[in-house]
A and B are shown apart, each in its own frame.
Chain A
């Protein structure tokens, strides 16, 4: 399991890049979902969103999940190409698999990578 140290994480397995305001799903989340076949972004550029509200809907071959905002704020960018390449969420969740960026966001309840790794480990037992 991979959890970069520069990112923050939510209990519902989303990541937040405090530097850029980008967010997406964690490596743990994508591995639990398995092959992701569909992603729909539920917010548009210019929307103002609240932390903890749904930003995306993801379907894998066996499950469906809502993805929640790891920070609230004004949406300044949306990864428009993502719905055409949902498998990117499996191959590169922290890079090409980013979902949206918010400006000067107020984060949800987040933890650092060490705490998140421990949190994931606890759940896999």
Chain B
């Protein structure tokens, strides 16, 4: 990006043009008491002093790269991020680009988004992907909007599995408030061990959408094919919230018959940061593309017959369709989406599968070792991916405080969302956890159980 300096001469010329004598005169319209508030800043530091101060502050942080071992997941996962991802993201051409309205000057950004869409469609087994949403939870809420619009508001019930991420369900509840949509199945006290096919009993002629998670919040992997068939038999659409890493290893939601697949792209090369920013992916079947929210990039040819990219099907979006549009949000997370595309391109099909398999194997080793500890045990028996609910026999808060003393971030405290899962934590294991890390976790938890 060009840096445009300003010299005193240029500033005076501008002031003269607008007809004021000084900068103070320019700000006269602002009431004096609001003009220059006292900031009470400490005395200025030299660069050397500032560096010292800032590195001191930075060192107070502990991070999962060097200081701590983490077994915390529940929607955000600690994966290895190749350094190329960051180098591409920091290029000014991508870093500063806003929504590419003008294809004449935005081919790079448009093509990057197109590649992202293609990768997401392939990963989920669906026809089309939009240019992304804020995060997985808002993408899931947009699925509710799509289904509502598809049935023109005539079906007003949405069935959600209680094993969809609690925070996703909370966001969907917020969206549903103003829409006169009733939610069914969204019950933290439900039997969490019941057959997902039982959800079909909640689906009726008034149901627009069924939402399930894959793997579910507890890491369990189910084949939803029959459930989706049952939902379709009632005329309802089905949205699957998916973990993208798991899709490299398991059957795609597309092949199970899902109509919409959403999820959080964070596991694909995006740091956990402090819980965001992230990126939500949204893919669907071709027949629903006109009801899909968000931006969409398409491939075309320019007036010289060369391959090029443009925003397409824009008449469905709110700036044209106004209040009749499916959603009022078409903002995408362009930069973060690009990060996931770079990550996927670097790893390729085989690389991503390798990551998924490492997660799977290590998580199963951890589960096996942990369940040997006296007084602890796995909560569920179904097949799982890289996360599992573990009963630790005492409040998770206590256990995690003890783990932290040993440099370990323990699992997610499930009692905050599911009253029945008191003393249960959700343990996530990725390729970042070595066998030694897992063995130390087992050792420290064994100590806890003997206390």
Interface, chain A (partner B; CB < 8 A): 37-38, 40, 42, 57, 59-64, 66
Question: What are 14 residue pairs bridging A and B, where the CB atoms are less than 8 Å apart in the complex?
Answer: A38-B290, A38-B315, A42-B152, A57-B324, A59-B315, A59-B321, A60-B315, A62-B315, A62-B320, A63-B315, A64-B316, A64-B320, A64-B321, A66-B324
- A61→B316 CA distance, assembly (Å): 10
B interface residues, Cβ below 8 angstroms from A: 152, 290, 313, 315-316, 320-321, 324
Given contacts A38-B290, A40-B290, A59-B290, contact A64 B152 (CB under 8 A): no
B311 CB to nearest A CB, Å: 11
- Which residues of chain B have C-beta atoms less than 8 A from A57's C-beta? 324
Q: Is the CB of A63 within 8 A of B320?
A: yes
Given A42-B152, A57-B324, residue A64 in contact with residue B290 (CB < 8 A)? no
Instruction: Say whether B316 contacts A59, CB under 8 Å.
Output: yes
Nearest chain B CB to A46's CB is how many angstroms away? 13
**Residues in B whose Cβ lies below 8 Å from that of A60:** 315
B296 to chain A, nearest CB (A): 12
Residue contact A37 to B324, C-beta cutoff 8 Å: no
In the complex, how many angstroms separate the beta carbon of A64 from the nearest chain B beta carbon? 4
Residue of A nearest to B322 (CB): A64
A120 to chain B, nearest CB (A): 23
Q: What are the nearest 8 A-B pairs in CB distance? A: A59-B315, A64-B315, A64-B321, A38-B290, A64-B320, A63-B315, A59-B316, A42-B152
A121 to B266, CA, bound (A): 56
Cα–Cα distance between A40 and B321 once the two chains are bound (Å): 14
Distance of A71 from chain B, by nearest CB (Å): 21
Chain A residues within an 8 Å CB radius of B321:
59, 64
Mostly, the B contact residues are helix
Q: With A and B bound together, what is the CA distance between A38 and B324 in angstroms?
A: 14
Q: Nearest chain-B residue to A84 (Cβ)? A: B287
Q: Give Cα A57 to B320, complex, Å.
A: 13
Central interface residue in A37, A59, A61, by most chain B CB within 10 Å: A59
Identity of the chain B residue whose Cβ is nearest the Cβ of A86 in the assembled complex: B290
CA distance A119 to B34 in the complex (A): 56
Closest to B289 in A: A38
A42 CA / B290 CA spacing, docked (Å): 14
Bound CA span A62–B320, Å: 8
Q: Which chain A residues lie closer than 8 Å to B313 at the CB level?
A: 37-38, 59
List B contacts of A42 (CB < 8 A).
152
Set of chain A residues within 8 Å of B152, measured between Cβ atoms: 42
Query: Which residue on A lies nearest to B312, using beta carbons?
Result: A61
How far does the alpha carbon of A40 sit from the alpha carbon of B290 in the complex, in Å?
10
Complex: A59 Cα to B320 Cα, angstroms: 10
- A38 CB contacts on chain B under 8 angstroms: 290, 313, 315-316
Q: How far is the CA of A34 from the CA of B434 in the complex (A)?
A: 61
Measured between C-beta atoms, what is the minimum distance from B307 to chain A in Å?
A: 19
Which residues of A sit under 8 angstroms from B290, Cβ to Cβ?
A: 38, 40, 59
**Nearest Cβ in chain A — how far from B181, in angstroms?**
19
B324 contacts which chain A residues (CB < 8 A)?
57, 64, 66
A4, B321: Cα distance in complex, Å: 30
* A57 CA to B321 CA, complexed, in Å: 10
A98 shortest CB reach to chain B, Å: 21
Expressed in whole angstroms, the Cα–Cα distance for A42 and B316 within the complex equals 16
- Which residues from chain B contact A40 at a C-beta distance below 8 Å? 290
User: Measured between C-beta atoms, what is the minimum distance from B14 to chain A in Å?
Assistant: 38
Task: For the complex, give the distance between the alpha carbons of A64 and B317 in Å.
Answer: 9
What residue in chain A is nearest B325 (Cβ atoms)?
Answer: A64
Chain B: minimal CB distance from A40 (Å): 7
- In whole angstroms, what is the CA distance A63 to B315 when docked? 5
Q: Complex Cα distance A40/B315, Å?
A: 13
Chain B residues closer than 8 Å to A61, beta-carbon distance: 315
B320 surroundings in chain A (CB, below 8 A): 62-64
A42 vs B152: C-alpha distance when bound (angstroms) = 8
Nearest CB of B to A80, in Å: 14
- Given A38-B313, A38-B316, A57-B324, 7 other A-B contacts at CB below 8 A? A37-B313, A42-B152, A59-B321, A60-B315, A62-B315, A63-B320, A64-B321
**Which residue of B is nearest A38, CB measured?**
B290
Residues of the B chain whose Cβ atoms lie less than 8 Å from the Cβ of A63: 315, 320
A37 to B320, CA, bound (A): 15
Bound together, the chains give a CA A81 to CA B159 distance in angstroms of 31
Closest to A54 in B: B324
Provide the bound-state CA to CA distance between A111 and B313, in Å.
34
Complex Cα spacing A63 to B320, Å: 7
| B325 CB, min distance to chain A CBs, angstroms | 8
In angstroms, how far is the closest chain B Cβ from the Cβ of A70?
A: 20
Contacts of A37 in B (CB 8 A): 313, 315
